[in-house]
Amino acid sequence: MKIYTKVGDHGQTKQVTGHMVSKTDPQIEALGAIDEFQSYLGVAVAALTPATKELGPVLQAVQRKLYVLQADLAVPRSDKMTPEDTTWLEAKIDEYWGEMPHLNAFIIPGGLPGGAGAHLQFARTLARRAERAAVALSNQQEISDACMTYLNRVSDFLFAAALYANWRDGYTEIPSK
């Protein structure tokens, strides 16, 4: 099976329902933002060092969960996301937060060259973009609280994971002042 049709799409795409919509449709924008975010998490996984490799399965679990979230946005009443998905993220945040020194100032996002910390900070911003796209979509279609809460919390998780990765790699965070 080929992945192209040779006819072009003229700026349209087919929803799972079979309905053709503009590629700027809020649902397509939200799904695309989540896809971008999910793909960049793969870059972060590729940048894990021996000191941070334990984050790999956790980040890949988030990538898998984002597929479920996309299905919930694409298929009305799919509702596969649950509050427990967010609870799992919160447990990971608490785990990482409990192991590393606490911040006492705002920081400039960054990390070591070749490390995952800076990539995780950038993924955090992509998660926020995906959340904003989902909020825009919520003006057009109903989105479950489980989806919206997960999208909100995953950026908090990535902030904690970025700090954790940097700490494990021996990187000292740079205060914003």
For residue 80, the Cα-to-chain-centroid distance in whole angstroms is 17
**What's the CA gap between 46 and 60, in Å, rounded?**
11
CB 155 within 8 A of CB 134: no
CB 96 within 8 A of CB 164: yes
Q: What percent of the chain has pLDDT over 70?
A: 98
- How many Cβ atoms sit within 10 Å of the Cβ of residue 51? 14
Q: What is the pTM of this model?
A: 0.93
- How many Cβ atoms sit within 10 Å of the Cβ of residue 24? 10
22-171 under CATH 1.20.1200.10, yes or no: yes
Task: Check residue 122 and give its pLDDT.
Answer: 98
Please compute the mean of the pLDDT values over residues 28-41 and round it to a whole number. Answer: 98
For residue 29, the Cα-to-chain-centroid distance in whole angstroms is 15
Nearest C-alpha neighbor of 128 from the set 55, 23, 36, 56 = 36
**What's the CA gap between 164 and 120, in Å, rounded?**
10
Beta-bridge partner residues of 21: 13
Task: Check residue 20 and give its pLDDT.
Answer: 86
Judged by average pLDDT, the poorest of 5-14, 39-48, 69-78, 110-119 is 5-14
Please compute the mean of the pLDDT values over residues 125-149 and round it to a whole number. Answer: 97
Task: Check residue 4 and give its pLDDT.
Answer: 78
Nearest C-alpha neighbor of 28 from the set 147, 130, 154 = 130
The predicted-structure confidence for 67-105, as pLDDT tens digits, reads as follows 999 999 999 778 999 999 999 999 999 999 999 998 999
Angle between helices 26-46 and 117-138 (to 10 degrees): 170
Please compute the mean of the pLDDT values over residues 132-142 and round it to a whole number. Answer: 96
**What's the CA gap between 87 and 91, in Å, rounded?**
6
- Sorting pLDDT into bands at 50, 70 and 90, what band is 123? very high
Beta-bridge partner residues of 20: 14
Please compute the mean of the pLDDT values over residues 61-71 and round it to a whole number. Answer: 97
Give residue limits of the domains in the chain: 22-171
- Sorting pLDDT into bands at 50, 70 and 90, what band is 29? very high
DSSP line for 27-42: HHHHHHHHHHHHHHHH
The rounded mean pLDDT for the chain is: 94
Q: Is the pLDDT of residue 160 over 90?
A: yes
Strands (E), 99-172: 107-108
